[in-house]
Structure 1
Amino acid sequence: MSLARRVTLPAAILSLAIGAAAYAQQEFSGAINARQGHMQIMAFNVGILGNMARGNTEYDAEAATTAASNLAALAMVDGRGYWVPGSDNGAVENTRALPAIWEDMAGFGADWQAYGEAVTGLQAAAGNGLDALRGAMGPLGNACGACHDDFRQPSD
């Protein structure tokens, strides 16, 4: 095999691999953007409630009820299209979704159901005073944390 061919073949293979990775990134960008946007809206509303619960902002029953209702609405969104196989952090960039999601979809679904149950309790409690809000934040934090521990790459 000539020297030019020995250099060209690995370069071509590397080029194909890079091209495939770029294609995968592009192919999954809609699903990744949708799920990340969904999570950002969740985090925004949890932040409103968390700041009230910690005393960083004044408790406001109307704002607490609205944020909890937003979380409940987000829990009802059918997000199956967000979780496209091959869109994990091992296959594409700019996502913290672990391959464990697809390896244990039942566990992932159970964590999402626990989140929905916690949000239902939070929605019922949020407008009933600061103590009620604080009491309902614990189950929400536990539900979110359980899913993040199992299915999300920690931030660096």
Structure 2
Amino acid sequence: MKTIVTATAVLAMLAGSVLAEENRQLEGRKGQFNILALNVGILGGMAKGAMPYDAEAAQAAADSIVGVSMVHQATLFPEGSDSMSIDDTRAQPNIWDNFSDFESKWAALGDAARNMQTVAATGQEAIGPALGQLGGACKACHDTYRAPE
């Protein structure tokens, strides 16, 4: 009986550990997208003239986007962390059917982010086209791998 109780306790701890890791991965994934949205919003506000252009703030936003684009996505997108398997995510299950395509779309975001980083501090007029490239990279992935709201 003591062995059964001990084994049950160990299994419960392991299950709790697995769930905690899944929560960290999902929270990390959400965090990266929140950081992207915040910084794209800053650049978008400047591009539209809704907020004054500030070269230093534009550069900082672009630098942050590049930093996020460098996060290894396999860490944040383990198989089984899709909208059909867990709540509070819009990741489609088809991500894992062609993970290399998913990663290539993430790499395209990185390319667009580095382009934005290059031009962000050069003037308000440079932000719009670079933002279009960034948005296109986001859309390419979302159209394929994100469930609608």
Query: Structure 2 length as normaliser, TM-score?
Result: 0.84
Local SS of the residue matching 1:112? helix
| Aligned pair partner of 2:90 in 89, 96, 103 | 96
| Aligned pair partner of 1:143 in 118, 137, 141 | 137
Instruction: State the alpha-carbon separation in 2 of the partners of residues 119 and 67 from structure 1.
Output: 10
Counterpart of 1:72, as a letter, is V
Indicate the RMSD between aligned Cα atoms, in angstroms: 1.7
Q: Which has the greater radius of gyration?
A: 1
Counterpart of 2:31, as a letter, is G
Counterpart of 1:135, as a letter, is P
| Aligned pair partner of 1:63 in 57, 67, 76 | 57
Q: Percent identity?
A: 41
Give yes or no for contact 1:25–1:93 (8 Å, CA) kept in 2.
no
Unaligned runs of 5+ in 2: 1-15
Local SS of the residue matching 2:86? coil
Equivalent residues, number:
134
Give yes or no for contact 1:115–1:143 (8 Å, CA) kept in 2.
yes
Runs (4+) of structure 1 moved beyond 6 Å?
A: none
Local SS of the residue matching 1:118? helix
Q: Deviations over 1:68-125 (max 9, x none)?
A: 0011111112232111111100011011111011111011011001101001110000
Give yes or no for contact 2:82–2:93 (8 Å, CA) kept in 1.
yes
The answer on 1:50 being equivalent to 2:44 is yes
Quote the residue 2:102 is aligned against: 108
Local SS of the residue matching 1:126? helix
Unaligned runs of 5+ in 1: 1-22
